[in-house]
Structure 1
Amino acid sequence: MTTSASVSLLTPPLSGVKRRASQDAIVESSRKRLKEDVDDRDHVEALGDTTFMQELADELQCGCCAALVYKPVLVLPCQHFFCGSCCVLWIRNGGTNCPSCRSVTSIATPYRALQGTLDTFLRWAPHRARSERERQQADEIYSGNNLRIPGPREASPEPNINQNTDFAQPCPHCSPGNPYGWVCPQPIPDPNMDPDHAWLLDEGDPPGHARCGNCEIMLALRAPTTSKCDMCSVSFCGINVQGRCVAASLPAQQPHGLGDIGDLIECSFIYDCFDGNNVEVEIMLDYLTAQRLTPKHIYREIIAHTQSQPRGFRTLIGRNIFSEIHGAVDTDPDIPRSRICRLCAAEVFFAGLKDWWVRERQKGFLEPNVANRKDCPHGEACSHQKDFGV
């Protein structure tokens, strides 16, 4: 005789009771949900590429290059952000404030919070990333550290539009109460205060005075601030534009227009130095960039090499490269050559650049296929000029 418990075990289940799903059914259901998620994401990407993603891309745009920001930095305290490389170039080009709002600032710091947002954005829209070449160039410029933004430079003096150009104006030392601690023994009469004794410029420069080779204001030749270039014989006031109105010592001078490698790349004179051998110029520029050598570093080595030669600067003076600047060169070989202006420093740089490169190639830093290239005397006429393997 069967018990009630036995009957219940043998009785078929009621139609209203759900059965436990099989393993195959669970797997199939998971696959279906995954496919739906992928389809939904593709749909969101397709829609977002023209709506949300585009708006987000606009918000992540660098204020300098107007492209998707790369390695962003945050300028404080105004909190505008830019590509790190863009900010570096801004500083190198003389920027002393925020590139966007021009507010006073002193630092730009890596913007790590925005970098996280940027990384997430690029996972959903990888096609919007900067090209590999752009990233490499930016990495060469900015390494990811804090950037110090220099303070504003002293403003250049405002020109006096009311000055009479027919008469000489007093030099900075002509006034007895001038702030430079030295008074000119032959002061120039102020044409506005003493027109009867004003010096007419058609008669030449006033006694004891000359024009500054940079800013062209009158200067006292005997003033302590006055310096004279030993190459072109031009004097400089040392007052009006700091760092430019001066003939500095030979190794301390900055060649005019050659602040960094970018200036050298944009300069057309560099190709003339190599007789039009553009291939060799490009090899040299790549080397300078990789070694982080500045034009001033090259200039100092050229100066040191020139001074070590028996003839010193006599060869350059004999080529009249300095007389072409101002037309007043003393060719006396016994005159000491210890001070130089920015323009003459640039002439020395270009005159010695090719020979410097020949010496530099012998130091062993270049690849063998580059270091072993022969120095062809034919220059641009060489049939192998464009052959990197020669």
Structure 2
Amino acid sequence: MADAVNSQPTSFRTDALPLVQSIVTSTSTLKRRASVTFTDRDELSIKRAREASPDPAASRPDDLPVAISAQALVDDLADELICGCCSALLYHPVVVNPCQHYFCGSCCMLWVRNGGTSCPACRAVSTNVTPSRVLQLMIDILLRHDPSRARAERERAQADAVYRPNQVFRIPPPREASPEPTIPPVADFVRPCPHCIPGNHHGWMCPEPVPDPVTEPERAVHIDDGAPSGHAFCGNCENLLALPAPSTSKCDFCQVSFCGISVPNRCAAVPLVHQHPQGLTDVSDLVQSSEVYESFNGNTVEVEYMLDYLTARRISPRLIYRDIIEFVQLQPRKFEPLLELDIFAEVPNVAAGPDVPLDSPRSRICRPCAAEVLLWGLRDWWTRERRRGFLPAAITERPDCPEGAECRQQREQSTSPLR
């Protein structure tokens, strides 16, 4: 029995050896190699396990409540909401685009009226100025916690008279300087006009040439003696001109002559409807002109309505000027009421020619006089324009003062400080 048992394992090992070798061989050929990133995966698993395990230093109780001073928070917020112009808490804040500097609406509007052509803070050219709801919400929250920081009632009234809440406007871009006329150096003697020089290229010779003080000092005309015979001084460039020269023109309002040579577009008096009012090219010029507000007796509200209307309909000052000219020419007395005001007497800086009767024909006008005509008739033009039905009913249905331009309440408001 024992022999049978002992002989069985020997027989099994001998018979099974080929099978075992074949299994080992087949297993070694079928088994897949370990991935190249197997080691990296093990390192990544170890790293994740370390990150997942709580760090004793990081688990320290560091989330204790922090005490915040309400007053300090209010002070810091108030310091950030300061107007860059008046250095006080913002009132009806506006943002200048694209630089994003913010100011009180009234401060920025006054900056524009006083001739500002850029951002008051960084002097960058801006596209428009828009109200800021975010800043207004922050100011409202600040004032709820500290009402003592609110503006005084008088200051608010003054600001409201200048800027209406939620009003969008723009800062006009800087204007290019006009070309400087060729003005001869100041001397004690009058220099010849362009037509006095023999063989000049203007094609016309002055019949009474002015002596050249350099070549003929004994015949020179002293400047204190005024313009020589047959000559005058140009109302724009102030150079000497020949009155009968073909290029010379005369304004029928100020009676001043213009040479038409130094600056052709400005040294000239042209037909009424073709002239440009000096210094009033677009709506931004009207915004910056204090004389526009004087034309309305200081009624800033009505002026703002008109400026918004002009901007929306793209009406230029020159178009308004033409409408005024056409309207006046249809009146029985034409320009006589305007001339009776004597507003053209001191428009140019040179001596004018002799006066003519009030009912004399008026066909030519210079640029400065055209600006005076525009400012004189602007308020009446706006009154006529409101009746055409282009404005909202909220504006057209407002009752007008029966006293019109002589409204005493408006005059008192414009001459007294805002309350």
TM over 0.5: yes
CA shift, 1:291, in A, is: 2.7
Distance 2:212 2:198 in 1: 13
CA shift, 1:302, in A, is: 2.1
Question: What does the per-residue CA deviation read over 1:266-288, in whole Å, with 9 as the maximum and x for residues that have no partner?
Answer: 42x654xxxxxx8xx67754642
Give the one of 199, 205, 209 matched to 1:185.
205
Q: Using a 3 Å threshold, how does the CA distance of structure 1 residues 260 and 238 change in structure 2: closer, same or farther?
A: farther
Higher normalized contact order (CA 8 Å, seq sep 6+, divided by chain length): 2
Distance 2:197 2:111 in 1: 40
Q: In the alignment, what sits opposite 2:397? A: 368
Q: In the alignment, what sits opposite 1:247? A: 269
The percent of aligned pairs where both chains have the same amino acid is 35
8 Å Cα contact 2:181-2:237 kept in structure 1: no
Matched residue type, 1:163: V
Q: In the alignment, what sits opposite 1:46? A: 71
Q: Using a 3 Å threshold, how does the CA distance of structure 1 residues 367 and 49 change in structure 2: closer, same or farther?
A: same
CA shift, 1:370, in A, is: 1.2
Distance 1:266 1:98 in 2: 23
Q: Give aligned pairs, total.
A: 318
Q: In the alignment, what sits opposite 1:213? A: 235
Question: What does the per-residue CA deviation read over 1:236-294, in whole Å, with 9 as the maximum and x for residues that have no partner?
Answer: 24566787544243234455677415524542x654xxxxxx8xx67754642453377
CA shift, 1:305, in A, is: 0.9
Q: Using a 3 Å threshold, how does the CA distance of structure 1 residues 286 and 230 change in structure 2: closer, same or farther?
A: same
- 238-247 vs 200-209, which moves further: 238-247
Q: In the alignment, what sits opposite 1:260? A: 286
Give the one of 186, 207, 225 matched to 1:163.
186
CA shift, 1:303, in A, is: 1.0
CA shift, 1:53, in A, is: 4.0
Distance 2:367 2:409 in 1: 37
Unpaired segments ≥5 residues, structure 1: 1-32, 272-277
Cα RMSD (Å): 5.4
Q: Secondary structure at the match of 1:169?
A: coil
Q: Using a 3 Å threshold, how does the CA distance of structure 1 residues 198 and 375 change in structure 2: closer, same or farther?
A: same
Q: In the alignment, what sits opposite 2:306? A: 288
Question: What does the per-residue CA deviation read over 1:125-165, in whole Å, with 9 as the maximum and x for residues that have no partner?
Answer: 467799988589657897378x77346424646977x622x
Distance 1:250 1:118 in 2: 50
Q: In the alignment, what sits opposite 2:4? A: none
Q: Using a 3 Å threshold, how does the CA distance of structure 1 residues 374 and 173 change in structure 2: closer, same or farther?
A: same
The structure whose Rg is larger is: 2
TM-score calculated relative to the size of structure 2? 0.53
Q: In the alignment, what sits opposite 2:355? A: 329
Question: What does the per-residue CA deviation read over 1:47-73, in whole Å, with 9 as the maximum and x for residues that have no partner?
Answer: 1444x4465446xx53x5556784433
Q: In the alignment, what sits opposite 1:153? A: 177
Distance 1:376 1:84 in 2: 33
Unpaired segments ≥5 residues, structure 2: 1-62, 347-351, 413-419
Q: Using a 3 Å threshold, how does the CA distance of structure 1 residues 118 and 109 change in structure 2: closer, same or farther?
A: farther
Question: What does the per-residue CA deviation read over 1:190-229, in whole Å, with 9 as the maximum and x for residues that have no partner?
Answer: 4355423322235442244211224533234456654321
Q: In the alignment, what sits opposite 1:308? A: 330
8 Å Cα contact 1:169-1:190 kept in structure 2: yes
Map 1:1-390 → 2, pairs under 5 A:
40-41=67-68, 43=69, 45-50=70-75, 52-53=76-77, 56-57=80-81, 61-62=83-84, 66=87, 70-73=93-96, 81=101, 107-108=125-126, 122=139, 125=142, 143=168, 149-150=173-174, 152-154=176-178, 156=180, 163-164=186-187, 166-171=188-193, 182=202, 185-186=205-206, 188-192=210-214, 194-221=216-243, 226-238=248-260, 245-255=267-277, 259-260=285-286, 262-267=289-294, 271=297, 284-285=302-303, 287-292=305-310, 297-313=319-335, 316=338, 319=340, 321=342, 324-325=345-346, 326=352, 328-331=354-357, 335=361, 337-349=362-374, 352=377, 356=381, 359-360=384-385, 362-363=387-388, 365=391, 366-371=395-400, 373-374=401-402, 379=406
Q: Secondary structure at the match of 2:241?
A: strand
8 Å Cα contact 1:260-1:294 kept in structure 2: no
- 246-255 vs 121-130, which moves further: 121-130
Distance 1:376 1:154 in 2: 38
Q: In the alignment, what sits opposite 1:12? A: none
Q: Using a 3 Å threshold, how does the CA distance of structure 1 residues 138 and 177 change in structure 2: closer, same or farther?
A: farther
Q: Secondary structure at the match of 2:218?
A: helix
Q: Secondary structure at the match of 1:331?
A: coil
Q: Using a 3 Å threshold, how does the CA distance of structure 1 residues 363 and 171 change in structure 2: closer, same or farther?
A: same
Q: Using a 3 Å threshold, how does the CA distance of structure 1 residues 249 and 361 change in structure 2: closer, same or farther?
A: same
TM-score calculated relative to the size of structure 1? 0.56
